[in-house]
Amino acid sequence: MENKAEEAGMKLRGRVAIITGAGGGLGRSHALTLAGLGTKILVNDMNAEAADRVAREIAEAGGEAIGFAASVTDEARIAEMAARAMDAWGRIDILVNNAGILRDRSFAKMTMAEFREVVEVHLMGSAICTKAVWEIMREQRYGRVVMTTSSSGLFGNFGQANYGAAKMALVGLMQTLALEGE
């Protein structure tokens, strides 16, 4: 097991990753793990304090990180986020589309605004972030895009029609980008 971790670290050392929704939870775990393997991290979160806290945590452990507050649905700010990573490190190798929200409610009680809001963050936010780094990765002839999905998209989950639909849509986006990114 140790050899695989060393091998992964060698492949990731010096790479640059943007991780959305990384101010806590799963995104934070992604950020800390990749940073521990030598990856430079742009920590994105809507909450500036949370993003900066995770960036400091990475720096205190000997890594390199920048906090950047932005909603993944804000195209202008996401373009600024990609530019910030490029200004700091000259490349973007990895994008982890992890940002998300929940507005759980049975479909009968869910408003279309609640449905749209979840789809906007999960699906459109991932598309916006991916579009912001796509040409950079194409020009580098290297890049990895990771989408955080959920079994709710495949199997459903009571009260999560909006979330399940958004997560399944991410699978379709991911499959198509894999073909186009080759």
- Residue 43's Cβ-count burial label (10 Å; 0-12, 13-18, 19+) is buried
CB 129 within 8 A of CB 20: yes
Q: Does the annotation count 142 as an active-site position? A: no
Do residues 148 and 96 lie in contact, with contact meaning Cβ atoms separated by under 8 Å? yes
The DSSP symbol for 44 reads: E
Q: Which of 17, 163, 166, 169 is catalytic?
A: 163
Q: Which residues contact 1 (CB under 8 A, 6 or more apart)?
A: none
Structural tokens at position 175: 């499959």
- Report d(CA 37, CA 10) in Å as an integer: 8
Active site residues: 163
